[in-house]
Structure 1
Amino acid sequence: MRECLMDGPVAASLEQDLDLFYKDRVTFLSALTDTNISKESYTKEVGGLFGMIQYSIDHANLVLWFEHDLFCQANCWCILWLITKSSCDAVTVWMVHPKEEAPYSFAAHTTQELVQAFDHAQPVKEIDQLAQLWPAYCNQDNQGLVTLAHKLKSTYPFLMPAIQAHLDRHPTDESPGRPIQTLMQIKQSSPEASFGEIFQEFSRREGIYGMGDLQVKQLLQSEL
């Protein structure tokens, strides 16, 4: 899934008609990437996936490959929400989990490890509860997110760290938010560092966010 739903407007995804959601995302992503993304291309790529989930997965086995960082988890919650709202029948959903040593990177897995991860895919039994993470996220219901994470902790212990990272990124009177605070610390300790070096160090310290280079660059440009 080529999206970054941890950033930008997402509330319109809760509507049955996703047209406004597509418009909101095109506007946001065009600004983020400094490119002119057309609604047609977005609808074809992302909307095509959403439409398939909503209407074309009867009697299907869906295997979800999502890492445990916030970037991937936000996308995962959206997909699970769409599955529960689907008009299709007899859909079985499986989750493939990354290895414990690399929870935020399937890219760090060998081919054999990826095969093993697939072989150990887990059936999703609490899909209705998991799916409720998405409307809670969209509606900025932080307490709802925390409550769901605690309910699901025994099966999905990675939810709370991702949700805590989400909560920590919001500014307070004492902090500009965890990602910005970390970037400030990196800049202070290495004032001559290139963006590539800053991004690499940020990813090492804050892999829980799963941010790409454009997201980190935007944070640097807007806040530092």
Structure 2
Amino acid sequence: MEKQYHVLNGDALKEVFPEDIEGSIIVMRECLIDGDLNGATPEAFFETRATFLSENYGGSKQDYFDKVVTEFDKIRSISEESEVNLWFEDDLFCQVNFWFIAHLLVQYRIKNSVYLIRPEGHHQYGFGGLSETALLNVHKQRVQLNHLEAIADLWGFYRDENSQELLKAAIELEAVYPYILKAVRAHIDRIPKEGDEGRPTRSLRAIMKELNTRDFGQIFTEFNKREPIYGFGDLQVRRLLERIINA
């Protein structure tokens, strides 16, 4: 059997990853839906991300390089004649990270067979809410990615804030990857426009008004019920909520 690599969408999946699935594990520990994406070179980009995350999410810049960039470096070292499995969900948070991983695979000229593994239907906790048996089943149902370069292009359009080309590319991929278009449209809906703060902020304002509360726990739970397409964690929602309250 060929060696397998598994690029996981986070540590939550790593904690429940079945021992019966063989292969090397690489963990995606970024949240590329949030923050500055500038950087003309990979080194400059990672420096930008380290600065943003340390200032807004806590931890040190060195933590970013030790815990995040080292995982990306493992992709560069993927051996030939191996299979690469990408474990990502359909929400925008996961999709943007997925596009970035596809970009790295293309950039590093990884010519291996690449497969996508997704949960069966949407689950509140994604992969983390699946049993070991269910994880084994979705692994067996993996789908080979035959459009890796086109998916990698999505990252470039997203990074460059080129919504027109991002939407066009997603529409071209819709027949095979319909969930990509849903995530792209959710992304475009969240972009503030004149007189419109964007869909996530509108939803948060509506929730605060309807529940008559500023309690974060209640707001966060309700936001995830209404807007699962975004896949926001507590840190992303808290940042949006703080902007509303401080406005």
TM-score normalised by structure 2 residue count? 0.83
Query: What is the aligned counterpart of 2:203 among 164, 172, 182?
Result: 182
Query: What is the aligned counterpart of 1:22 among 46, 64, 76?
Result: 46
Q: How does 1:42-191 map to 2 (within 5 A)?
A: 42-88=64-110, 90-102=111-123, 105-191=126-212
Deviation at 1:104, TM superposition (A): 7.0
Instruction: List 4+ stretches of structure 1 deviating above 3 A.
Output: none
Structure 1 contact 32–214 (Cα < 8 Å) conserved: no
Q: What runs of 5+ residues in structure 2 fail to find an aligned partner?
A: 1-27
| Deviation sequence 1:10-43 (CA, Å, 0-9, x none) | 232xx5x42211211111111222x2412x3212
Relative to structure 1, is the Cα distance of residues 36 and 111 closer, same or farther in structure 2, using a 3 angstrom cutoff? closer
Q: How many residues align?
A: 218
Letter in 2 for 1:212: G
Equivalent residue of 2:31, what SS? coil
1:10 lines up with 2:37 in the alignment = yes
Letter in 1 for 2:56: L
Deviation at 1:87, TM superposition (A): 4.2
- What corresponds to 2:236 in structure 1? 215
Q: In 1, Cα distance between the equivalents of 2:122 and 2:236? A: 25
Letter in 1 for 2:150: Q
TM-align CA RMSD: 1.7
| Deviation sequence 1:57-88 (CA, Å, 0-9, x none) | 43221111101000000000000001001144
Q: In 1, Cα distance between the equivalents of 2:191 and 2:138? A: 34
Equivalent residue of 1:208, what SS? coil
Q: In 2, Cα distance between the equivalents of 1:82 and 1:216? A: 28
Q: In 2, Cα distance between the equivalents of 1:104 and 1:171? A: 28
Structure 2 contact 38–48 (Cα < 8 Å) conserved: no
Structure 1 contact 94–121 (Cα < 8 Å) conserved: yes
Q: What runs of 5+ residues in structure 1 fail to find an aligned partner?
A: none
Structure 1 contact 169–179 (Cα < 8 Å) conserved: yes
| Deviation sequence 1:187-211 (CA, Å, 0-9, x none) | 0011235211110000110111110
Deviation at 1:54, TM superposition (A): 2.5
| Deviation sequence 1:142-180 (CA, Å, 0-9, x none) | 111111111111110001110011101111223211000
Q: In 1, Cα distance between the equivalents of 2:30 and 2:43? A: 16
Equivalent residue of 1:132, what SS? helix
Q: In 2, Cα distance between the equivalents of 1:204 and 1:142? A: 26
